[in-house]
Chains A and B, each alone.
Chain A
Amino acid sequence: MKDWINIALPKGRLGEKAYGMLKNSGYPCPAIEDPGRKLIFENPEKMVRYFWVKPSDVAIYVERGAADLGIVGKDILLEYEPEVYELLDLKMGKCRMAVAGKKDFREPVGQTLKVATKFPNITRNFYAGKCRDIDIIHLNGSIELAPILGLSHVIVDIVETGTTLRENNLAVHEEIVPISARLIANVASYQFKDAQINAIRESLRKQVEEND
């Protein structure tokens, strides 16, 4: 018996690319390609249902079972540590989580390190591993401003090309972890829809290998 598969896609370029791969896997949904204000897109023939959500919310939709599958950045998985299966590294949306600061930055010795970030959990875990005393300054955007204005010594943030850092006289001082998009599944959905989910994973895996 075939069940409906609900897939949460992150809004934006990454989600569109992921949908392209899912379409190639035999799960197209023509409705999603028409611009409009609809929130949910279904293909009854393939029994697949897609919805766009804020990238940082994908993991919540999957963990809580509103979606069986989702495409999400590894940064979100490391930050929120949701209880989900992480089935595949899609090797797209590649970037890195890094410690950055002024180019001439020297770490203050014998002093608490002030770190501005959107990712407090990743930051806490990283510095806990080094037994370093830190003061986390939780910001929601424009993180690069913090060391320039003296709000923090360094920042922990996602670095893609490093252009923003360079243009503001900042530099990466340490890499924490490489980031890319992952295919995740709800643990309970996997129990009952494992054949369908594994078929999707296999098809995506082949595409990833071809593109690699």
Chain B
Amino acid sequence: MTTDQIWRNEEQAVFALRGLYQRYGYAPYKMSQFEEYDLYVRNKDFLISDKIITFSGEGGKLMALKPDVTLSIVKNAPEEPGVVQKVYYSENVYRDYREIMQAGLECVGDLTDYDIAEAVLLAVKSLDTLGGRYVLDISHMGLLAAVLERCGFDEVKQKQAMACLRQKNTHDLRQLCGENEEGWQTLQAISACRGGAEALEALSPYLTGEAEQTAVAELKALLEMLKERGYEECVRMDFSVSNDLGYYSGVVFRGYLEGIPASILSGGQYDKLPRKMGRKSRAIGFAVYADLLQERNREDGAFDVDTLVLHDGTVPLAEVNRAAKAASKNGSVLVATTAPKGRSWKNLIELKGVAAQ
């Protein structure tokens, strides 16, 4: 039995991802299992789920089983000019009363454009590492926020428009825009944008605001860099990707692997989180939901063990040992007196002892 067969898909993936992040100079980060609940409740909207498992800690403090890693990393990030902290993690987190295996990275501090582009590159490389066909959809929260502002939408309408974009729902978006023809033309073009640099180029004339053009320039540079690295084909501009406007400010992205029905990677630039914590740093990061790789575990027809050695309990130990030793040359061996229910084997060796003779 090879190491590949012993490790589950998700364990192999996390191991490979750790290697990838380390090659880019990211340092491992290990956080404690618990954090004060206060940290999460103050940034509730940043979390994917608000179902947090809590318990009383020392001195009656309300503690939580960590539902997220990012908040803890950002809380302790550096603030000096020119300093950037690059860390990766593979941790179990607890959401919706489930334990979820998650790997990812965070880049926090005085970020340059390269740091941001490198984090997106690592997101693509993460998908590449996991194997099979993959796609990384890229969007930009700064661009979306500027467009919605220009459309003159209030907070409620902004949320509704974001939901329509997220669902690629142009029929309800049309109704939402009403008489606002310019807004509708822009939002329709944004919703229809899907593809590489050419799709962004086609969208560009609709994005007339200064902040919008700045975001376009940023995205163009990013796509250029990914093209130069050979990932042009697997990256698409798609503005159905969005995250909370209150936290995310720049590029956001989501990754998909063929055969897995939900996004396996999600992340983005979230400068507003450190700002809410009273810090000056900028930040980008992503998480890979390794648990979803279970969907690709064990092909139909695979066996649990290579050989089952069945004996009736009266066969001398030496004889059972001989049979088990010989069988082990062909892979895994299970020795038992009765055939185990619910398991499968490729070969069967039956040993009859005194009772049967």
Contacts and interface: CB of A to CB of B under 8 A. Distances in A.
A66 B172 CA distance: 26
Interface in A32-76: 63-66
Given A85-B167, A85-B168, A86-B168, A188 B240 contact: no
Contact of B262 (A85, A86, A187, A194): A187
B137 interface: yes
B262 A191 contact: no
A188 B265 CA distance: 12
A194 B167 contact: no
Contacts of B262: 65, 83, 187-188
Interface in A84-121: 84-89
Given A85-B240, A187-B263, A192 B258 contact: yes
Contacts of B171: 88-89
Contacts of B167: 84-86
Given A85-B168, A86-B169, A191 B135 contact: yes
Interface residues of A, number: 18
Given A84-B167, A85-B168, A88-B171, A192 B135 contact: yes
A186 interface: yes
B261 A188 contact: yes
Nearest to B156: A129
Nearest to A62: B261
A207 interface: no
A87 B137 contact: no
B169 A188 contact: no
B133 interface: yes
Given A85-B168, A86-B169, A191 B137 contact: yes
Nearest to A189: B261
B41 interface: no
Contacts, number: 41
B260 interface: yes
Contacts of B135: 191-192
A27 to B, nearest CB: 20
Given A191-B137, A192-B135, A65 B168 contact: no
A141 to B, nearest CB: 29
B298 to A, nearest CB: 18
A63 B258 CA distance: 15
B184 interface: no
A65 B262 CA distance: 8
B266 to A, nearest CB: 12
A65 B167 CA distance: 16
Interface in A182-201: 186-189, 191-192, 194
A182 to B, nearest CB: 8
A181 B302 CA distance: 42
Contacts of B258: 191-192
Interface string B246-283: 00000000001010111100000000000000000000
B129 to A, nearest CB: 18
A66 B135 CA distance: 20
B18 interface: no
B261 A191 contact: no
Interface in B183-223: 194
Given A85-B240, A194-B194, A188 B260 contact: yes
B256 A188 contact: yes
A65 B257 CA distance: 12
A89 B133 CA distance: 31
Contact of B133 (A65, A85, A186, A192): A192
A186 B240 contact: no
- Interface pairs A-B: 7 shortest CB-CB: A65-B261, A89-B171, A86-B169, A191-B135, A86-B167, A191-B256, A85-B168
Interface of B: 133, 135, 137, 167-169, 171-172, 194, 240, 256, 258, 260-263
Interface of A: 63-66, 83-89, 186-189, 191-192, 194
Given A88-B171, A194-B194, 9 more contacts: A84-B167, A85-B167, A85-B240, A86-B168, A186-B261, A187-B240, A192-B133, A192-B256, A192-B258
21 contacts: A63-B261, A64-B261, A65-B260, A65-B261, A83-B262, A85-B167, A85-B169, A85-B240, A86-B168, A86-B169, A86-B172, A187-B256, A187-B263, A188-B256, A188-B260, A188-B262, A188-B263, A189-B261, A192-B135, A192-B256, A192-B258
